[in-house]
A and B are shown apart, each in its own frame.
Chain A
Amino acid sequence: MIELEGLTKHYGDKVAVDHLTFTVRPGIITGFLGPNGAGKSTTMRMMLDLDNPTSGTVRIDGKHYRQLEDPLTYIGALLEAKAVHGGRSAANHLLCLAQSNGIPRSRVGEVLEMVGLSSVARKRAKGFSLGMGQRLGIAAALLGDPQVLLFDEPVNGLDPEGIHWIRNLMKHLAAQGRTVFVSSHLMSEMALTADHLVVIGQGRLMADTSMKDFIHQNSRSYVRMRSPEQQKLLDLLRAEGIHAVAAGGGALEIDGVPAERLGELAAAHHLTLHELSPQQASLEEAFMRLTAASVEYHAHNGEPVPVRTAAVPGTPQPAGARPGEPQPTGWGTDWQKKRS
């Protein structure tokens, strides 16, 4: 279990991490999501006591990192690939880390076997590919058989086989009851692995929700219609009791009515349609919108700007951004309340 409380980091005037408070629970994979430069790596470095917070605290199983005896046996971390002396062999790299924490030498061979690097154990790390470097970093994280694991962008630079392997490894570790905290800037990756989601943008907490809720909130499907006789179409829909919302580019968006019915309706009234397409908002778009909003809030000095104005015609829009409609509860709303 990792508990962050009001964690803040300033670099001069720049606020990298802004009062982050959340808890990473054991037994599940918690995804830590944010665009590049959102403060993910800084947060993870502060968790490991590498960077000093400007204010706030991080506790690992109730203790400050510096109070942990042989910390590698509590928490293992993969921060960046190839943070290794290139002239040192993989086995010696792990051995020096193991010795500093009183971990038996035999464990080095075990973790090398686990990550599939046994055959290159005696080879110098200089010649390793990015993927092998990543595996070596994971071996180092697993060295102390820790209950808490941090992975910073673990799939970066890996081939599909390696990505598959890491996903399974993380699921396996969480299933054993360990705390797994993994950062990424790819929503699609998180959707496949994480059970819980923490989203930050510009160092601020934007969402702290279960993956299930996030998907439920954001996997909205709707139908888009375009007609040269838009007013006629709107009247028709209204007469049928169907609520339609005007989107950009003369299109209408309709929730909760199947495309078949809409098509038949238009045909029955001899209306020309230029488009009738079922749409599915992707989680990636929901994430981008969530974090893009943080940029807009920032640029306009706290004045909320309707995200809709930035919509590009043809881009499907998920729920939650319509002007005049109540915001859905769940992710992002706490933060928005706090701001406004």
Chain B
Amino acid sequence: MAAVGQVIRSEWTKIRSVRSTVWTLGIAVLVTVGLGMLICTLANHDFNSMPPRDRLSFDATNISFAGMGLGQLAMIVFGVLVVSNEYSTGMIRASLAAVPQRGTFLFCKLLVATALVFVVGLATSFVTFFAGQAMLGDLRAHLGDPGVLRAVIGGGLYMTLIALFSMAVATMLRSPMLSLGILMPFFFLISNILGNVSATRKIGRFLPDQAGSKIMQVVPRAGEDVPYGPWGGLGIMIAWTVLALAGGYVLLKRRDA
């Protein structure tokens, strides 16, 4: 059996020795924080002209995460590249010859990448929260308010799970182009469309990103009626991720490298 500690060290060397790691994670942080601050500034200006119904359901915490919709795309790119780079470069054969226990190989790779994403995601979530609140003036929420800390930590978990889900999908599909070609439009367009068209809304809210992002809400949206709470939503996202991981593991085990 390959020693897990050795493989984790090896995977860490792999991640830290390519530039795409810094680029993708850096863009994820910048876009999430920058866009969040921008939208918070705009919301602060517009608040007085909002209809009263919207003012009641104004969620200062959630609005500071507005940049995550775009920032998560960079997280998806990170997740996809971490796995599919092995295939697109042919490195996978050297990697599997070094660690023929494919379960150990995949588990260690995903563990290292996920741990890194969690640290970056959690930090991003806190930074974007504080930066966003600073732009909101009197409307700001405080970390001590009910549900706010949960939402901020949840933001970090959400980004981590999006990246892990992407890694799992890339494990199944292998090709970076194919993986990105499916994941990017799915999370950027299709999921939003399904979630906003009344006929498909009931399905749309069970998609990983929509269910998972519930954890970042503190004030429920007006007229919204979802059958799960913040942790239930995250649970749905975790279930999707576990399913994708199982698929990736089974395929990696069975397939020729």
A interface with B by C-beta (< 8 Å): 45, 48-52, 65-66, 68-72, 77, 79-80, 82-89, 92-93, 95-102, 140
Encode B3-25 as 1/0 by CB contact (under 8 A) with A: 10011011101100111100000
CB-CB < 8 A to A85: which residues of B? 14, 18, 85, 89, 91
- Of B95-103, B173-181, B237-245, the one touching chain A: B95-103
| Cβ-defined partner of B98 (8 Å) among A66, A82, A100 | A100
Chain A minimum-CB-distance residue to B18: A87
Asked whether A48 lies within 8 Å of B97 as measured between CB atoms, the reply is yes
CA of A65 to CA of B100, assembled, Å: 8
Selected from A48, A51, A100, the residue in CB contact (under 8 A) with B10 is A100
Please give the residue numbers on chain B whose beta carbons come within 8 Å of chain A beta carbons, in ascending order.
1-3, 6-7, 9-11, 13-14, 17-20, 85, 89-91, 93-101, 254, 256-257
* Residue numbers in A under 8 Å from B257 (CB-CB): 45, 50-51
Task: Please determine whether A99 and B6 come into contact, CB atoms closer than 8 angstroms.
Answer: yes
Contacts of B6 in A (CB 8 A): 70, 99-102
Q: Are A102 and B13 in contact (CB under 8 A)?
A: no
Classify the interface of chain B: helix, strand, loop or mixed.
helix
Interface SS of chain A: loop
How far does the Cβ of A142 sit from chain B's closest Cβ, in whole Å?
13
Name the one of A65, A77, A80 contacting B90, with C-beta atoms under 8 angstroms: A80
Q: Across the interface, do B7 and A100 meet the contact criterion of CB distance under 8 Å? A: yes
A97 and B100 contacting across the interface, CB-CB below 8 Å: no
Q: Which of A79, A84, A97 contacts B89 (CB 8 A)?
A: A84
In the assembled complex, which residues on chain A have CB atoms less than 8 Å from the CB atom of B10?
96-100
A101 cross-chain contacts in B, Cβ below 8 A = 2, 6, 98
Which residue of chain A is the closest to B2 with respect to CB atoms? A100
- Contact partners of B1 in chain A: CB under 8 A: 69
Asked if B13 contacts A96 (CB within 8 A), the reply is: yes
Query: Which of B13, B98, B99 gathers most chain A CB within 10 Å?
Result: B98
A92 and B16 CA atoms in complex are apart in Å by 9
Note all chain A residues with C-beta closer than 8 A to B85: 85
Q: Which residue on chain A has the smallest CB distance to residue B105?
A: A100
**B contact residues around A93 at 8 Å (CB):** 17
A87 B19 Cβ-Cβ under 8 A: yes
Of all A-B residue pairs in the complex, the 9 with the closest CB atoms, nearest first, are A83-B90, A100-B10, A92-B17, A99-B10, A51-B256, A96-B13, A50-B257, A99-B9, A87-B18
Complex CA distance for A51 and B93, rounded to whole angstroms = 10
| Bound CA–CA A98/B6 (angstroms) | 9
Flag if A97 contacts B256 (CB, 8 Å).
no
Contact B89 A72 (CB under 8 A): no
Q: Is the CB of A71 within 8 A of B13?
A: no
Report chain B residues within 8 Å CB of A140: 94
Which residue on B lies nearest to A9, using beta carbons?
A: B256
Residues of B within 8 A of A88 (CB): 14, 17-18
Please name 8 further chain A to chain B contacts, defined as beta carbons within 8 Å, in addition to the given A77-B97, A99-B10, sorted by A numbering: A45-B93, A50-B96, A65-B100, A66-B100, A80-B90, A83-B91, A84-B89, A97-B95
Residue of A nearest to B1 (CB): A69
Chain A nearest Cβ from B214, distance in angstroms: 37
Q: Are A83 and B89 in contact (CB under 8 A)?
A: yes
A69 to B, closest residue via Cβ: B1
Q: Are A86 and B97 in contact, CB atoms less than 8 angstroms apart?
A: no
Question: Across the interface, do A100 and B99 meet the contact criterion of CB distance under 8 Å?
Answer: yes
B19 proximity list for chain A (CB < 8 A): 87
CA gap between A294 and B254 in the complex, in Å? 32
Residues B2 and A70 in contact, CB atoms below 8 Å apart: yes
Q: How far is the CB of B229 from chain A (nearest CB, A)?
A: 42
Q: How far is the CA of A98 from the CA of B95 in the complex (A)?
A: 11
Cross-chain contact A96 with B96 (CB below 8 angstroms): no
* Nearest chain B CB to A119 CB, angstrom units: 19
- Complex contact B256–A71 (CB within 8 A): no
